[in-house]
Every structure is written in C-alpha cells, then in structure tokens.
Amino acid sequence: GAVVSQHPSWVICKSGTSVKIECRSLDFQATTMFWYRQFPKQSLMLMATSNEGSKATYEQGVEKDKFLINHASLTLSTLTVTSAHPEDSSFYICSASEAGSYNEQFFGPGTRLTVL
C-alpha cells in the first residue's frame, strides 16, 4: 500500500524558535497533501491543503504566516511552525492523495511537537 513518512517523529524546542516537519510520499506521487493538527483525545483538525507547485489553502482560523507550508515536489511537503509557543504543542499529521485516485488519503505517522 501507499506509504507516507514524516520526520521528525517527535521534536522538543524552545519558545520562539522555528521547527520544520517533513512529509514524504515514498511510493507514489502526491499531487495533494494535507496537514492536520490533533490534540489529545480529539479528532484531526485540518490546517491546510497543499497542491504541488502552488500555494497552500489554509482553513479558517489557521495563521498562514505562522504555519508555513511548502509543497515543492510530488513527494515532499513541509510544515514550518515559526516562532513556536507552548500553545503550538500538538500532534501534527500529514496525509497525501494521489492523482487519479479516489479521495483516499494516506496518513503519515505524525510528529509530536513540544514547545517549552
């Protein structure tokens, strides 16, 4: 089946620093990638949708200047949390969708971010 990886799997950073999370589709070309945020015991909250080569579309209430998304190739998307604060601590999950497929999304294993 389609495999999506994320790196790092967990990261701890100091308040005010920036953190980059990578999402890769390993065995297929992902024309669309999604970034989600998940708080403990809660469901996934869609942050943004990114299509390869174009700007990401952010959901209402998500600060685009704080959560920078780049989808430079068909196998890689990155999420950068800029000037991170403790309230940004969360589980960030990406998913990828392949061109020509149904609307099935393949999820990465997630990245746990802790901001001190």
Interacting residue with other proteins among 109, 113, 115, 116 (CB under 8 A):
109
From the list 12-20, 64-72, 81-89, 90-98, the region that binds other proteins by CB under 8 A is 90-98
Interacting residue with other proteins among 32, 70, 80, 89 (CB under 8 A):
32
CA 100/CA 54 separation, integer angstroms:
18
How many chain residues touch other proteins (CB under 8 A)?
A: 30
From the list 12-20, 63-71, 74-82, 91-99, the region that binds other proteins by CB under 8 A is 91-99
Min CB(34)–other proteins separation in Å: 8
CA 102/CA 3 separation, integer angstroms:
16
| Nearest CB to other proteins, comparing residues 88 and 98 | 98
| Nearest CB to other proteins, comparing residues 110 and 115 | 110
Interacting residue with other proteins among 44, 62, 68, 76 (CB under 8 A):
44
Is residue 95 within the footprint of other proteins (CB under 8 A)? Answer: yes
* Alpha carbons within 13 A on the beta-carbon side of 85: 2
CA 3/CA 1 separation, integer angstroms:
6
